[in-house]
């Protein structure tokens, strides 16, 4: 039994949720999101409570039960608070700046790397070595941060590269004489 799937989702004040068959849409102060539930789960919207139940005891239904509940909970959290990921640039001469909505990165290459964020994602650069990725969809925020990090992941010898805030980079010892 799914411990996550059993928990009902509380819909906070200021958020409008509608359920039409398997189509679920939620509208809040930050925006609007929608999701179509898979056929292996049964969904009920009762006032301010959303409950997700597995339709039978098959492996796929039990797998989808917790995941679909989590997706719906992330949608509700996204339209109320939003999601954000912070990235740090470590390395001499590594810096970031915004050119319009695009992010220009200097990462030690012979050229600048330009990243155009997807729709619904806001990039902010507080300092030249700090990037904040924010939006209402948790998956898109994480994917955007991962794509920016993939241009120059942290390396283990000097620790240079783009890393998540608070990420620990295990350092290796260099060559011996």
Q: What is the pLDDT of residue 175?
A: 87
| Residue 148 shares a structural domain with residue 110 | yes
Is residue 131 in some structural domain? yes
Tens-digit pLDDT profile for residues 7-43: 999 999 999 999 998 999 999 999 999 999 999 999 9
Q: What is the pLDDT of residue 5?
A: 84
Helix (H) or strand (E) holding 67: helix 59-80
Q: Mean of the per-residue pLDDT values for the chain?
A: 92
Is residue 174 in some structural domain? no
The pTM for the full model equals 0.88
Is residue 176 in some structural domain? no
Is residue 172 in some structural domain? no
| Residue 100 shares a structural domain with residue 113 | yes
| Residue 105 shares a structural domain with residue 67 | no
Which residues, 6 or more positions from 41, have their beta carbon under 8 angstroms from its beta carbon?
A: 52, 53, 54, 55, 61, 64, 65, 68
Mean pLDDT of 73-90: 95
Tens-digit pLDDT profile for residues 145-157: 999 999 999 999 9
- Contact between 85 and 133 (Cβ < 8 Å): yes
4 confidence band (pLDDT: 50, 70, 90): confident
Number of domains observed in the structure of the chain: 2
Q: What is the pLDDT of residue 176?
A: 85
Is residue 171 in some structural domain? no
Mean pLDDT of 58-65: 90
Angle at 103 (CA atoms; ends 32, 105), nearest 5 degrees = 145
Domain that holds residue 149: 83-164
């Amino acid at each position: 039994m799914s411990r996550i799937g059993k928990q009902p989702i509380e819909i906070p004040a200021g958020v409008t949720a509608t359920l039409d068959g398997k189509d679920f849409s939620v509208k809040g102060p930050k925006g609007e999101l929608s999701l179509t539930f898979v056929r292996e789960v049964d969904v009920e919207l009762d006032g301010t409570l959303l409950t997700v139940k597995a339709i039978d005891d098959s492996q796929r239904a039990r797998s989808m039960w917790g995941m679909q509940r989590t997706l719906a909970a992330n949608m509700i959290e996204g339209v109320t608070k939003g999601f954000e990921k912070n990235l740090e640039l470590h390395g001499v001469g590594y810096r970031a700046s915004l050119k319009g909505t695009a992010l220009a990165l200097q990462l030690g290459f012979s050229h600048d790397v330009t990243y155009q964020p997807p729709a619904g994602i806001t990039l902010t650069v507080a300092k030249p070595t700090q990037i904040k990725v924010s939006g209402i969809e948790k998956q898109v925020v994480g994917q955007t941060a991962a794509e920016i990090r993939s241009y120059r992941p942290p390396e283990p010898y000097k620790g240079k590269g783009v890393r998540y805030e608070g990420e620990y980079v295990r350092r290796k010892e260099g060559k011996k004489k």
